[in-house]
Amino acid sequence: MTQLRRDACRYTKQYCEENVYLLAEQLRQQQPLAEIHAVFISNPQRKIPLWRQQAAREQDLDYHVVLLVRETVSDDCIVYDLDTTLDFPCSFRTFAIEALRADIDLSPDYRRYGLCDSFDSLSFRMANGGKTSDGLGWIAPPPSYAPIRPELCNLQKYIDMEQHMVDNVYGDVLSETQFLQQFLL
């Protein structure tokens, strides 16, 4: 499997969803037969415990998005996360142990994973400045490139795991147990 190097990827701090979208586009061109998923990690409380992250002041984030790739021949799963301090990419097993800390017994409410297979419907950048803090300015400057699909902004629909579970339009929502069983071999 061809793997991207971190320095070959477009990156904007605190725009994990756009970083993943662009990574997916690169990988789909290089590996058209691979199984590629954008994984939205969130929950109704919008507080996810996530370790080994560069930008996080604490391990709790409101949401995070990573790219999960399963190689069709070997069935190996790797994670692309431009915000991690782990290797890039890293094995799914390493990500589960060190970033998700699957070994810690937490309430199931804090661990939800939304899998999105179709990147055609993804559009993330908020036209009204979705990365602002109470209208007081940018938490992080927006990417230097134009919005991916400026006519549509549906990021909140991917992050809202309760609605996500009801309408299932934006992919499947899995518990941590389901998520680990599906991708740990």
Q: Look at residue 136 in the predicted model and tell me its pLDDT.
A: 61
Lowest mean per-residue pLDDT among 56-60, 87-91, 124-128, 162-166: 124-128
Note if 16 is an active site residue.
yes
Q: Look at residue 5 in the predicted model and tell me its pLDDT.
A: 92
The proportion of the chain whose per-residue pLDDT surpasses 90, expressed as a percent, equals 21
Q: Where are the beta strands (DSSP E) in 22-179?
A: 35-42, 48-49, 60-61, 64-70, 77-80, 90-91, 112-116, 172-175
Higher pLDDT, 175 or 152: 175
Query: Which of these is catalytic: 37, 64, 90, 116?
Result: 64
Note if 60 is an active site residue.
no
Tell me which CATH code domain 6-183 carries: 3.10.620.10
pLDDT tens across 39-71, in order?
988 877 777 888 998 876 655 667 899 999 988
Q: How far apart are the first and last CA of the chain?
A: 17
Half-sphere exposure of 37 (CA within 13 A, CB side): 22
Note if 77 is an active site residue.
no
Lowest mean per-residue pLDDT among 19-23, 39-43, 97-101, 118-122: 118-122
Q: Look at residue 128 in the predicted model and tell me its pLDDT.
A: 36
Measure the CA–CA gap between 74 and 9, rounded to whole angstroms: 24
Higher pLDDT, 31 or 138: 31
User: Token pair 């997916």 is at which residue?
Assistant: 24
Query: Which of these is catalytic: 37, 75, 77, 81?
Result: 81
What would the two tokens of residue 7 be? 């320095």
